[in-house]
Amino acid sequence: MTESNLVQRADRESVLIERVAVDDLFNLPVIEQPPGNITYVSDQENILTIFSPALRYGTQGIIAHNTLAGAHFFELKPGMLISANYNDGNTVQYRVKSVHHYQALSPESTTSRFRDLSDSDHHISSTQLFFRMYNQPGSLVFQTCIEKDGDPNWGRLFIITEQV
């Protein structure tokens, strides 16, 4: 599947992921966010959610709570293969390219600034972080929160993949 397959079809339906599998780790269904609700994340234990704002940039974003299906994201490491089944019948293989950890300086705010844990002196806005992670056409990006010191929203984990 090419980048152009990720854009809107003439009938206004998107080509979206329906299931994501990683050998011996997980094989989970993916649901869409309700229209107009970009903060929605499934509260079901084994369900992933498509992050609809990423679609505007040709990126498939998958989000989940770190206390639910997002816990699996911490097992993803560079080089691992991921199989994504799409609603048009295609299956695409992705390889984990990189893993990124950020601390949310205001964990409960959707507009928090973030500190890159690989460069503690580097702080960026939530908008800059969004574009850094999701402006990667053709990629599949996984996102969940990082828990620390009892705060389930302390930080954010991003797994960036590329098509094989």
> For position 91, which CATH number holds?
2.40.260.10
What pLDDT is recorded for position 13? 58
Please tell me the distance from the alpha carbon of residue 26 to that of residue 13, in angstroms, as a whole number.
27
pLDDT (tens digit per residue) in 18-54: 999 999 899 999 999 999 999 999 999 999 999 999 9
Percent of the chain with pLDDT over 90: 84
Q: How confident is the prediction for the chain on average, in pLDDT?
A: 91
What pLDDT is recorded for position 15? 85
Q: Specify the number of domains making up the chain.
A: 1
CA gyration radius, the chain:
15
The model's pTM is: 0.90
Pairing of strands 114-116, 123-124: antiparallel
What range does the domain containing 22 cover? 3-163
